Structure 1
Amino acid sequence: MPHALSAEGEVPSFVGEKLYVNDGLLRPDQVGALRESSPDMPIEEIRRRYNEDGYVFLKGLLPREDVLRARQAYFEMLAPSGVLKPQTAPVDGIFDPANDKADYPGIGAGAADGNGKPGGSTAEKFVDLALAAHYADWYKETFCKHPVLKNMIARLTGWGDNTLGIRRSLLRNNTPGNKAIGVHYDQIFLRHGEPTSVTAWVPMGDVAVTGGGLIYLENGHTLGQEVEADFTRKAMESGLTTEESKNAFNQNMLSTGLLADGPLEYADTFGRRWLVTSYNAGDVVLHSPYAIHASTINYDPNNIIRVGTDLRFVNGSRPWDKRWDKDYEFNDGV
């Protein structure tokens, strides 16, 4: 936990808290605050902020009780793995500190081959249950299709009745102390369609600022577009076919498809800050396909497991990446 990792004299990253990423402790000069927006703002202002920042952080967009109902169902599914502290309520999602964190790895954060199955044989029960949650009706038929969320995106984009929530989503947990999500933007994994998708990152429960929530690179959407153009050029120069250049795992990327594993070094390389915040159940961040983001390591002081899902929306009347028209599976090549 943080006190065990901290060296004497280390400076807090943000609002008195130390925020750790995969390659170390973020410095105060590397961190800023994510801009909050209200769902009650005029849609023109929400759209302006989305276009200007590459994201819009909507406080309390979803009914809190709907989010907590889904969190309850999730941890009721995962409870047989022994992940939860005994005599605690499933909805609280409190990790049992007697466990070895290596037995409870998060989906999509640490597998060396991108979206392979994480962990070893001792993690299998937990990982299999976390995967099965993607197929449960309470998740894919109810939570993922929440009408409030779809309506907001339809209004934001102007897609109206063509607004389509695509089937493949990533329902991730982040148990305390485990590896965080590396640096990426979503178009890397959606290159078989137009770069117009909208991702809704939905924290399923409250997430303290030290609890492993998503962090966004300041003006990262403009950098993402530059990086993508550079990757496209390099791919063509290296002799890749058009189809090969669309692959998120081509020879110009890390083996995971990520831009970098470490947000700290990445911030220094490009001279941009990471924007951070705490989240509450009901909050939603909508971000562009070029918005560069990552996450912190979960060092919640109360051992709360961070759960969040990536839901993606497209204009169904335009070309989109049909590889995503299926439920998530390990090693599915996407």
Structure 2
Amino acid sequence: MAIDLDEPIYVNDGPLRPGEYATLEPSDPATVPMDELRRRLKDNGYLYLKGILPREDVLASRRAYFRYLEPSGVLKPGSDPVDGIFDASKDVAEFPGIGVGRLEDMAPQAQDFVSRALDAHTQPWYAQDLCKHPVLLDFMARFTGWGMEHTLPLERTLLRNNIPQTKAIGVHYDQIFLRYGEPTSVTVWVPMGDVDQRGGGLIYLEGGHLLGKHFEDEFTTKAKANGLTDEEAKSAFNRNMLSSGVLTDGPAAFGREHGRRWLVTGYEAGDVVLHTTYMIHASTVNHDKNHVIRLATDLRFVDSSRPWDERWGEQFRLGDGV
């Protein structure tokens, strides 16, 4: 999907300026050799695969999701659930994200919406049909070299809806949340539907995998110099994050501070992006002109023959501490 580099890209701390973002480069898994795909992930920290999943299968899961949430009143009356169009006459505060607070502290409308969004993680049209799609499992087994026997899709996934004009995901890298295993996990971000370049998709920091590894190594060296054990170092590092676990909420300032551009694009149903556990990324604020809700999920794959963060072996739930 072509992007317009002159069109403003909004993040939590304002628009990215011209020259502060560039295009995320796609790869065609049908024509690019596997060794070259592996090189691109290693060199760039991400691998943007076009059309690897059957579009109709992704849209089937999207339709099922919004049908499941439709009784909460989130959708525009009379619209097709697969379009995921937000009812712009409603207050967005009635439809909070899945990680913004405790259910018991929410108003009844918000409780219903969040409960449905949480329950969706366990539904077969998502947990089985999408998260364990045979095309994805086969590709990951071959791409990683782990084989089907050791290619393990973690049960804990993050199925997120991003309603227009709500807060976006802050700057982070995934090893922050997976420190109780080796840093070998691969994240697969799956946009469940088409996402306009202004529609809340993921953005990646150019060379962010190197910077993320630098942050981790620098802190670990300091922690060990101060006599901390590995376990104490993990806890100390996490205390330096924001309460949500991110490095900062503001991608624009972060990119300027480190002199790096953000890589952006529009996505289509069937695309996925692989990224390494140290790759720094965030998301844009959803400014879709048609009020389309961005729906996407984070899947993680590990080599089951190696130590992995077993806290991720169960479905996501509020307050699970991960």
TM-score range, shorter chain: over 0.9
TM-score by length of 1: 0.91
1:12-64, Cα deviation, whole Å (9 max, x unpaired): x9533211111111111210100110011110111111111011000000000
SS of the residue 1:123 aligns to: helix
Kindly indicate whether residue 233 of structure 2 is the aligned counterpart of residue 245 of structure 1: yes
Structure 2: how far apart are the matches of 1:321 and 1:281?
Answer: 29
Q: 1:97 to 1:286 in 2, by over 3 A?
A: same
Q: Distance in 2 between matches of 1:293 and 1:268?
A: 14
C-alpha RMSD over aligned residues = 1.8
1:10 maps to what in 2? none
Give distance in 2, aligned partners of 1:68 and 1:256. Answer: 30
Residue 206 (structure 2) aligns with: 218
Aligned match for 1:45, one of 36, 39, 42: 36
Per-residue CA deviations over 1:107-134 (Å, capped at 9, x if unaligned) read 24xx3x7xx6698324111111100100
Q: Aligned residue for 2:182? A: 194
2:132 corresponding residue in structure 1: 145
Compared CA separation, residues 126 and 240, structure 1 to 2 (3 A):
farther
Query: Residue 5 of structure 2 contacts residue 22 of structure 2 at CA under 8 Å; is this kept in 1?
Result: no
> Pairwise mapping of residues 1-334 of structure 1 onto structure 2 (< 5 A)?
14-40=4-30, 41-108=32-99, 111=100, 120-121=106-107, 122-161=109-148, 162-236=150-224, 240-247=228-235, 250-334=238-322
Does the 8 Å contact 2:95/2:114 carry over to 1?
Answer: yes
> What is the CA distance between 1:137 and its match in structure 2?
1.2
Partners of 1:54 and 1:293 in 2: how far apart?
10
Query: Number of residues paired by the alignment?
Result: 317
SS of the residue aligned with 2:35? helix
Partners of 1:280 and 1:309 in 2: CA distance: 14
Letter in 2 for 1:95: F
Unaligned runs of at least 5 residues, structure 1: 1-12
Distance between the aligned counterparts of 1:251 and 1:291, measured in 2?
A: 20
Structure 2: segments with no counterpart, 5+ residues: none
The answer (yes or no) to whether the contact 1:191–1:247 under 8 Å persists in 2 is no
Alpha-carbon distance in 2 for matches of 1:248, 1:313: 26
Judged with a 3 Å threshold, the aligned counterparts in structure 2 of structure 1 residues 118 and 253 are, in CA distance, closer, same or farther, namely farther
TM-score of the superposed pair, with normalisation by structure 2: 0.94
